[in-house]
A and B are shown apart, each in its own frame.
Chain A
Amino acid sequence: MGNERILEVKNLVVHYLTARGPLPAVNDVSFSIEKGRIVGVVGESGSGKTTLALAILRQLPRLTRIYKGSVMFHGIDLVKLSEKEMNEIRWKKISYVPQAALNALNPTIKIIDHFIETGNAHGINDKKLIVEKAVEIMKMLNLEPERVLYGYPHELSGGMKQRVLIALSMIFEPELLILDEPTTALDLLTQRLILDLIKDLHRRTHMTVMFITHDIATIADIADDVIVMYAGKLMEKGDVFTVFKNPHHPYTKALMSSIPDLTGDINKMRSIPGSLPDLINPPSGCIFHPRCPYAFEKCKREEPPAVEIKPGHVVSCWLYSKQ
């Protein structure tokens, strides 16, 4: 590979400050994203996917701390930037389409004004330029610009709104686009359309995408690389073909056999025993150990390090550590 890394997250720790105590929603996560790849981030609800995205963008809610770690973007640590400097990065260089964003559009203004306002907010006042760009992206996303631009949000279906949001996030041709559960609230056929359009867009623009979802089959469909998260931890990372064909981490294995899809052997599917840990009082050692069929003594005592078992393939599990 040896491709340019556009983002490098190192030892990132994010705590929410709650009444019961600090909640480590992202806990010592490190990975890098190579230019031009679609990186899927998969994990169950509460595994820290959204928090990870918000931390990269520095859009965390107020009662949150980044305790440790760095987010290097072109050699600059985003964690250390001032708010003003960060504003130059957001949307222009790294843009984000939040989870459940379908209601984020302002119902009282036309779609075209959403584009103009977004442009203005980032210092671009040339209306004609913004509209031209909007039309270009909307065409790529299979939206009829004439009809959609001059309509109001309520006139659009869920799938159209999602595409408008993606288009909005792309007007500055960001280097990295982060999509948080962009297909989750949509009907099956609309999900398919959105996935195909994102692939198509990626083929044409080669932009880098971080695609967050709880659905492992969606990752198999769209991503080049996959990051598997569990309870705030990165469990495994690698290219999708390797990880899906030969998952190494016990959690990845268990997650994959817990998905009832249309092609697998139904007699081999099983749920993961136990339930998700309480992040405020997490289990000792490996956070997955109470549910792990391979757990041994050491797993209860010590946290496993993330080990690169092959170039680009990272696993956080004592079974693969030589220490």
Chain B
Amino acid sequence: MLDTPIIEVRDLKVYFPVKKGIFGRTYYVKAVDGVSFEIPEEGIFTLVGESGCGKTTVGRTIVGVVKPTAGKILYKGKDTSKLSKEEYLEYRRNVQIVHQDPYSALNPTKTVFQSLAAPLKRWGIAKSRNELREKVSELLELVGLNPPGEFINKYPHQLSGGQRQRVVIARAISVNPDVIVADEPITMIDVSLRIGILDLLLKLKEEVGTSYLFITHDFGAARYFSAKGGGSIAVMYLGKIVEVAAAEEVIQNPLHPYTKALISSVPVADPELSRKRKPLKLKSLDIPSPLNPPSGCKFHTRCPYSTDICSKVEPELKEVSPGHYVACHLYQG
């Protein structure tokens, strides 16, 4: 149990400067405002939340394309801002990202072979034409594009959305990463094919030990992926994690008022059940601006349970039952 997590995020803050007003004063969007979590070796950590809460920014920071304003990212126990040049390259190769949009992720003028061969060449994984073909075929098989010969010379426009996303995943895994940040990987995929993509990612976890940061706004997908892979789910609101626990625990026993509101609002595919559910109603649907977030608990402007203390004191993320953490004054005991 004392294994070093593959990724540790410690008190991460990412503020983006924006200029506003006639004097061009600089304000900061607090996209991520103090987030800590770990991705265990061969494990899954899932971030869910409404649009703009900071999920993608966390993901982009983990893969190293966004620099933290404060806080640290540790890869295999080492602070990624203090790596030697070789170590840094190693880290960048080992931590890959799969984006939401499989349509823009692939260069339309390149064949599947060309898209997949490029990273293999760049990282010196395969060199000769034969080696490259063999490796690319292997990758295509691994992501379920069978027989590889049928796909290898195709251009993106000749592939369906699901097939394209498989190519994008093949490209991400081509360099044998330890960690994949999967940012809404199924959002743009046809409904009937979504689980197939998640199963593929789970299969890679089993077979080659990939770990995941899974990012989604869809609680059903979060539950499926995280619960099947034995991972946890964290709910984000305005740059903060407000609740985190094992996947089914969050879904079946949400404690934070925000999580409760979200989960009770999700329609379920059972007409009787869906109509019986009583969604928790919020005071307001407006998400406050991350330029000027509310004081104290950032959720107090919408929370039906808020009391005096909520607008004054920010609640800490506390363990309220084994492995279940909540940031809310109702549970601070």
Asked whether any CB of chain A lies closer than 8 Å to the CB of B261, the reply is: yes
Which residues of chain A (187-231) have a CB below 8 Å from chain B? Answer: 187-193, 195-196, 214-218, 220-222
Asked whether any CB of chain A lies closer than 8 Å to the CB of B193, the reply is: yes
Asked whether any CB of chain B lies closer than 8 Å to the CB of A275, the reply is: yes
B274 cross-chain contacts in A, Cβ below 8 A = 217, 220-221
Cα–Cα distance between A159 and B274 once the two chains are bound (Å) = 21
A151 cross-chain contacts in B, Cβ below 8 A = none
Which residues of chain B (145-197) have a CB below 8 Å from chain A? Answer: 160, 162-163, 190-197
Cα–Cα distance between A46 and B256 once the two chains are bound (Å) = 39
Asked whether any CB of chain B lies closer than 8 Å to the CB of A260, the reply is: yes
Q: Are A260 and B221 in contact (CB under 8 A)?
A: yes
Asked whether any CB of chain A lies closer than 8 Å to the CB of B272, the reply is: yes
Q: Are A192 and B279 in contact (CB under 8 A)?
A: yes
Cα–Cα distance between A193 and B265 once the two chains are bound (Å) = 9
A42 nearest in chain B by CB position = B191
Q: Are A260 and B195 in contact (CB under 8 A)?
A: yes
Asked whether any CB of chain A lies closer than 8 Å to the CB of B220, the reply is: yes
B268 cross-chain contacts in A, Cβ below 8 A = 217, 220-221, 261-263
Asked whether any CB of chain B lies closer than 8 Å to the CB of A240, the reply is: yes
Asked whether any CB of chain A lies closer than 8 Å to the CB of B285, the reply is: yes
Partner of B285, one of A44, A193, A216, A264: A193
B221-257 vs A, Cβ < 8 Å mask (1 yes, 0 no): 1011001100000000000000000000001000000
A256 nearest in chain B by CB position = B269
Interface size on A, residues (CB 8 A): 43
Cβ distance A273 to chain B, nearest Cβ, rounded Å: 8
Q: Are A44 and B192 in contact (CB under 8 A)?
A: yes
B43-61 vs A, Cβ < 8 Å mask (1 yes, 0 no): 0000000110000000000
Cβ distance A215 to chain B, nearest Cβ, rounded Å: 7
A46 cross-chain contacts in B, Cβ below 8 A = 190
Which residues of chain B (262-279) have a CB below 8 Å from chain A? Answer: 262-263, 265-275, 279
Cβ distance A203 to chain B, nearest Cβ, rounded Å: 13
Interface size on B, residues (CB 8 A): 44
Asked whether any CB of chain B lies closer than 8 Å to the CB of A271, the reply is: yes
Asked whether any CB of chain B lies closer than 8 Å to the CB of A259, the reply is: yes
Q: Are A188 and B265 in contact (CB under 8 A)?
A: yes
Cβ distance B100 to chain A, nearest Cβ, rounded Å: 14
Cα–Cα distance between A191 and B219 once the two chains are bound (Å) = 14
A187 cross-chain contacts in B, Cβ below 8 A = 50-51, 217, 287
Asked whether any CB of chain B lies closer than 8 Å to the CB of A131, the reply is: no
Partner of A192, one of B190, B228, B265: B265
A231-268 vs B, Cβ < 8 Å mask (1 yes, 0 no): 00000000011001000000000111011111110100
Q: Are B269 and A216 in contact (CB under 8 A)?
A: yes
Asked whether any CB of chain B lies closer than 8 Å to the CB of A270, the reply is: yes
A273 cross-chain contacts in B, Cβ below 8 A = 196
A254 cross-chain contacts in B, Cβ below 8 A = 192
Cβ distance A11 to chain B, nearest Cβ, rounded Å: 26
Cβ distance B193 to chain A, nearest Cβ, rounded Å: 5
Cβ distance A231 to chain B, nearest Cβ, rounded Å: 11
Q: Are B50 and A269 in contact (CB under 8 A)?
A: no
Q: Are A259 and B191 in contact (CB under 8 A)?
A: yes
Cα–Cα distance between A261 and B252 once the two chains are bound (Å) = 12
Q: Are A214 and B51 in contact (CB under 8 A)?
A: no
B162 nearest in chain A by CB position = A275
Q: Are A259 and B220 in contact (CB under 8 A)?
A: yes
Asked whether any CB of chain A lies closer than 8 Å to the CB of B199, the reply is: yes
Asked whether any CB of chain B lies closer than 8 Å to the CB of A72, the reply is: no
* A-B complex: 8 closest residue pairs judged by Cβ atoms: A271-B196, A260-B224, A192-B265, A221-B267, A272-B192, A271-B195, A217-B267, A260-B220
Which residues from chain B sit less than 8 Å from chain A, CB to CB? 50-51, 160, 162-163, 190-199, 217-221, 223-224, 227-228, 251, 261-263, 265-275, 279, 282, 285-287
Question: What are 24 A-B pairs at a CB distance below 8 A?
Answer: A44-B190, A157-B285, A188-B50, A188-B217, A189-B285, A190-B285, A191-B265, A195-B267, A220-B271, A221-B267, A241-B271, A258-B191, A260-B198, A260-B223, A262-B219, A262-B266, A262-B268, A263-B269, A263-B273, A266-B223, A271-B195, A271-B199, A275-B160, A275-B193
